[in-house]
Amino acid sequence: MRYRRVTWRASMEMVEARNLPGHIGIIMDGNGRWAQTRGEPRAAGHRQGASAVRRTVRVARRLGLRALTLYAFSEQNWARPEEEVDALMQLLRDFLLSEREEILDNGIRLNAVGNLGRLPAIVRAVLDPLRQDSERNHQMTLTLALSYGGREEIAHAARQLAKAVAAGDLRPEDVTAEALHAQIPSLSVGDPDLVIRTGGERRISNFLLYGLAYAELYFADVLWPDFSERDLFAAIASYQKRQRRYGLVGSHGADGVNGSAEHRSADAPLVAAAGPITRIAI
């Protein structure tokens, strides 16, 4: 099969179509600072952040990524001013309503992880039906981490295993790393290959902690509302230049290990869209 080499008009970066990360997680940071630098209320930054989500999901789907997990609202975010929390919940509801048709039309399965019981009824009323209606889609899984915390997720998984041991359904020696992994909802699509954080901070902030064991990390200075196709491609290009050793000695060209740029085949396909997206012109 012959591959056509193409360029991506939004970026100078070139990425390989067959060496893409399967699962990307993004810590979307910088909405508040984006608004403050413009003398606008924080809610304005969150609205622009929603536009960045829309752009990123479209590009991820066009690239053919298997899974995209977005850190939308943490357990700790509930401590923010009530007015800001209410605005965020309304914005989340509006986003789900406006994107419903596009998600369904483009084969995207919507998932959500976190303490979803804390979400207000106005959000659950649109989130739950969309999750159900899209559950048979398989082109890409979009996971929203809502009322989410990595430590809290691990603790909940540990409690589930402890209950199974106490009930006699599981032996203590069967409590393994793999058994714990199977109880963690955010990893139902597999461990993240690449985690991106915007906003210039260099920390993980309680995101996908168990799955981060061997993930590649990429920190971008751009504030989330300004995150563009160019920035996503820069992150993926950085990922493709690294070797993933998983604690082993690197071996260029070995399965499961990214080869460095100079060791890649000259015939490796450069990025191409996974196919046209219904009603979308990027």
From CA 30, how far away is CA 271, in angstroms rounded?
28
Render the burial of 40-73: b for 16+ CB within 10 Å, e for the rest.
Answer: eebbbbbbbbbebbebbbbbbbbbbbbbbbbbbb
- Integer CA distances (angstroms), 117 to 1, 58, 127, 177, 264, in order: 49, 28, 12, 27, 47
From CA 65, how far away is CA 216, in angstroms rounded?
16
Residue 124: CB partners within 8 Å, gap ≥ 6? 116
Q: Is 182 helix (H, G, I), strand (E, B) or coil?
A: helix
From CA 245, how far away is CA 79, in angstroms rounded?
39
Catalytic residues: 29, 77
Give the strands of the sheet with 140-148, arranged side by side: 108-113, 140-148, 67-74, 23-27, 194-197, 216-219
User: What is the sign, positive or negative, of the torsion defined by CA atoms of 48, 102, 184, 126?
Assistant: positive
Structure tokens at 129: 């039906």
